[in-house]
Amino acid sequence: MPGSNLTRIEAEERKAVVEAPIHYHVDLDLTVGGKTFGSTSRISFGARSGASTFLDLIADDVESVELNGVVLDPSKVFVDNRIELTDLKENNEVTVKALCRYSNTGEGLHRSVDPSDGNIYLYSQFEVPDARRVYAVFDQPDLKAIFDFEVLAPESWIVASNMPVHQVEATDRVTLDGTMGDHANEGTKRWVFESTPVMSSYLTAICAGPYAEWHTEYSNEDGRVVPMAMYCRQALAKAFEKDVDYLFDITKKGFAFYAKTWGVPYPYAKYDQIYVPEYNAGAMENIGMVTIRDQYVFESKVTDAYAERRVVTVLHELAHMWFGDYVTMKWWNDLWLNESFAEFTSTLATAEATEWKDAWATFSSGEKSWALRQDQLSTTHPIVAPINDLNDTYVNFDGITYAKGASVLKQLVFYVGRERFFEGINSYLNKHAYSNATLSDLLDELEITSGRDLKAWSAQWLEQSGINTITTEVEENEDGTIKRLALRQTAPAEHPVLRAHRLAVGFYNEDPQTGRIVRTDRFELDVDGELTIVEEAAGKTRPALILVNDDDLTYTKLRFDDKSLKFAADNLYRFDDALARSVIWLAFWDMTRDGELPAKQFIETSLAALATERESTTFRYALAQISTTAWHYTAEADRADVVRHVAAELFKLANAAQAGSDEQFQLITAYLGYGEPGDEAFAANAKGLLDGSVSLEGLEIDNNFRWTVINALSTVNEIDQAGIDAELAKRETTENREFAFGARAVAGTAEAKAWAWDEALHNDALTNMQLEAVARGFASTPRADLAEPYAEKYFETVDWIWGNKTFHMAEALLEGLYPAYADPAKLVELGDAWLASHEDADNALKRIIRGNVESSHRTLKVRRYNESL
């Protein structure tokens, strides 16, 4: 058996054998120590008489297996993470007792010890197939079942699951000695939860520990009262207290918005949100109990962009309660049905139901830039991606599935009409409630309500890879009016699909009263095929800027006509509308990374626009794009001067920004990423921020910003390991340990890089977050001399990493340790050779490596372009 990497064919074969009803009784014992826990699964299920199948289980030891009253030998039936079940009856019951292992990688049942108070916190993360790390299970989304959970835990802990607690009872048991911390020899309680509705195993969840808790309730649209709760670590409770009411309010607004928009009230018994440490993702949509990374508990100042992202994340996971949980994909090829829809509707809800009214500008700057980047790699894939096995699924939690899919859904809403679109969603949710569905099922309902044939639309947008480019062509009359305005659509040779677009064309001019650039006209039209004439524009006065895809209605690359390009580059900072600025800025960035716009021009346009930009996510992405351009895309002869110029301008902008503003905070943080050894002014500024000799009015040197400065000092070797240790000793928390690991790894010495390389690869005691901090610090020092020695080592180590780490840790290492500051020509040569010699490697592994290598190909291409100017 291939074991943990379940294939689609195997899943289909098992689905043909295992029949409803399926019922699990899962009993977990969390009192046996700090390494392992007890797991007992009793599963009743129907099956084809005489058939065979298997359960999934990843465990240290299987104590017993009993099938239909017959005791089986675990050493014979438990092989390669599967338990073989043969000679099945029409009605079956199997009981599996096992000893499973806590993880420190964020997979399965993660165990975290908070160094600030010694408290132990557990939480589960089961997507994609990791329920099998906690209990024996048919771990695939279309084998939905009812689940009953019981959990034995220390009496001082709180235990939560998908459903409300049925009863909590004291037991005669005590916890065992070992690594139970303060809970050794403590009394225990048994938590028994109500039965779940029919659901997929990857959406089940268990959290346990001495979490701080807050409660309220929501008057649901169906007349029920839905209990709501928030949880976090005790060490974060004081910080979280000030945000709890706000987050409850955001969630309630989401309940109301989704119920009204889709016509289906919230379907489950309760709704908890538990903020957990060392989380691999942003959040996870477990039914009735969403787990969220506790970096979203703000002890220190964060950007407005991050605060808005928290709101979008809360609403994204809430959207999943309907799209993904209430109706679930049959197999992972329809993952986009979950993620694209949740990303689209959470942005819609954020823009229309919260104070973050510019959420679509945020989406354009952040999510769409992610999509455009990934869609131009050879590893791009259709939104409805072919998923042959679980490894394929892992790498599809990407910019195509989330951001491109959400962009395309936004396009579909305009294509069929908003009212008809959501009528179709209502029909889809009601028809497939508590079951599984496919893309075809969704399109069927949307075709009925819209009257449009969506099969051709789906073939273009969902089932084909790649992105189109729309170029503006203008012919003018002698009097300055437009003779002909045409939109020319092209497609890359490897994905030669011309798509139908519903988009808007905006005319922009200067407002003589305010000096701002404002929209003075707009046309909405269908664009299809290679050439589309904008008939409404003929005879109108030529505007200063013609903006195709005004309001960002479709998903495409843009190329401006010459006059519009020059005007936008000179005047981006004067545009009145946040979304228009975002669309233009993203087009400039795309041109820069395609080697069509000079790096210096992009940097100067962006620096000028930062002086007036107030949309936080656009601001954040512009800063990141300036950094990439300065460090990677500029001509070698110019790079040092450009980097120093950018650093000086950022420091100047930070000092000129409004005291205490988001812009000030982002600018000074970005400035601290431009340190180079020997830059005495930079070192003096960074040290001065810590000792108070350099100050910006309104800028607080709080915990997280202090570590940002320490990180900057380490990069330029102005603080040593002893200094980092002393900083950590002042306040040793989960977060500060991670900061300290990163600060040590980012140090600008060969010794620090050797330590970080070895630590990331071989210290299995590191948590997932600590490992990521080390890998990130290793690779982010912007010095080629430190990166060069690891170019060959990286490709020599790839196979070992893939063979010896879990997927999430392998991904973190393979992406985090890539020495991107090394000579791109060398990385291209080594990377292409590795790929040529690994044609038979796992597709998921090749996709990760291709993504890295192609980024070096692009760097090399764009550098050469800028060197030719």
Catalytic residue at 317? Answer: yes
What is the signed CA dihedral for 453, 458, 464, 470, rounded to 10 degrees? 70
702: left (phi over 0), alpha (psi -120 to 50) or beta: beta
Residue among 124, 149, 137, 122 nearest 35 (CA): 122
Cα 418 to Cα 524: distance, rounded to the nearest angstrom: 15
Which of helix, strand or coil describes residue 663? helix
Q: Is the separation of the CB atoms in 858 and 820 below 8 Å? A: no
Q: Is the separation of the CB atoms in 46 and 81 below 8 Å? A: no
**Tokens 């395609």 belong to residue:** 594
Q: E-assigned strands of 68-145?
A: 70-72, 78-79, 82-85, 91-101, 108-113, 120-125
| 768: Cα separation from own chain's centroid | 16
Residue among 386, 367, 447 nearest 412 (CA): 447
Residue among 265, 367, 350, 258 nearest 312 (CA): 350
Neighbours of 216 (CB within 10 A): 15
Give the residues across from 272 on adjacent strands: 229, 289
**Tokens 């908070």 belong to residue:** 114
Length of the chain: 869
- Among residues 150, 278, 317, 727, which one is catalytic? 317
Find all residues with CB under 8 Å of 248, minimum gap 6, and list them: 214, 216, 228, 230
Cα dihedral 710, 713, 719, 721 sign:
positive
* Tokens read off for 115: 């160094």
Give the residues across from 149 on adjacent strands: 26
Q: Is the separation of the CB atoms in 486 and 473 below 8 Å? A: yes
Task: Using alpha carbons, list the distances in angstroms from residue 40 to 27, 104, 202, 366, 444.
Answer: 5, 22, 18, 44, 42
Cα dihedral 628, 634, 639, 643 sign:
negative
β-strand pairing of 271-276 with 289-293: parallel
Which of helix, strand or coil describes residue 526? strand
- Helix, strand counts (H, E) of the chain: 29, 29
Catalytic (active-site) positions: 317
